[in-house]
Chains A and B, each alone.
Chain A
């Protein structure tokens, strides 16, 4: 039991980061994480120690998030951006960096399934296999969501001809 809780505890910072990026609201993100941990603790008998606990926790968190979103579908939540070029691009920021506020706003406009996929890979650094498993989708679907998410972000955040960014780890 305490091993289990230790492992959950170790996963909390990453869960918070993912929830923050998903919701872009610190309080709501922590509520989400709290719900996920509670559910995990209550359901821990269902967890098979063979699988990675962290992936299981992400799956639980996503389920709660999706239910929340279904419950409170807000206006403007599902702007269809499947066709790159549909939205006017804003001027590119300087020095090759993307303006963070702009990226944040663009993130808000991504369809939920694309946002879930992109953040899992780009922010959490999940392998494609892990990400597909967490999202409950085939690998091919993951890649197409990733492709559409990146195309949409590019459309929303600027143009292509900018100096190359230093590699940031």
Chain B
């Protein structure tokens, strides 16, 4: 009988989770002042920051208004949709 001992070996690896982007899309109905108000209300941004994001939506058709962990991104998109803003989430590239 061979004198061998099996030793368990564990390895740890850490990888950063890919962040998710929260996107607000442009539409011809929602008023610019309302879009700004909703972004301020949901994300707690000040009016200047929210206005910049709103203008991106208006001029470029969409804006990334937040990035981070998926669960939180889903929550924010749900809040934006509850305020009737066209919004979605996507993996950050």
Partners in one complex: no
Query: Which residues of A line the B interface, CB within 8 A?
Result: none
Interface residues of B (CB under 8 A from A): none
